[in-house]
Amino acid sequence: MTNTNCLEGIRCPQCGNEDRFMIAAKVIVEVTDDGADIASPQYGNGYEWDDASYCRCPECDREGTLKEFHVT
Ligand SMILES: [Zn+2]
């Protein structure tokens, strides 16, 4: 299946997996004295990543930056 949303253009260069990836994302949390929650949508998606983010393929354990997983 070709990805068309969050994973558009992303595929493991080693095993060809394109279904799921473990990506180190930056998270915006709303913090109060009681604790922290993922920020509400009006402050953005709450988390984000880019080509420089760490990525791991859960199928073959290939690791690298997300840029290395872009389909060329
Ligand atoms: Zn893989």
For 9-37, what is the mean pLDDT? 93
Mind listing the pLDDT tens digit for each residue in 31-53? 999 999 887 666 666 788 999 99
pLDDT of residue 48: 86
CB 36 within 8 A of CB 13: no
Residue, of 5 and 45, whose pLDDT is higher: 5
1 Cα–ligand 1 center, Å: 15
Ligand 1 center–CA 3 separation, angstroms: 15
How high is the mean pLDDT of the chain?
A: 89
Distance 63 CA to ligand 1 centre (A): 9
Residue 48 backbone zone (phi > 0: left; psi -120 to 50: alpha; other: beta): beta
Percentage of the chain modeled with pLDDT above 90:
64
CA–centroid distance, residue 20 to ligand 1 (Å): 10
**pLDDT at residue number 51:** 94
Contact by Cβ (8 Å): 12, 19:
no
What is the distance in A from the centroid of ligand 1 to the CA of 55?
Answer: 11
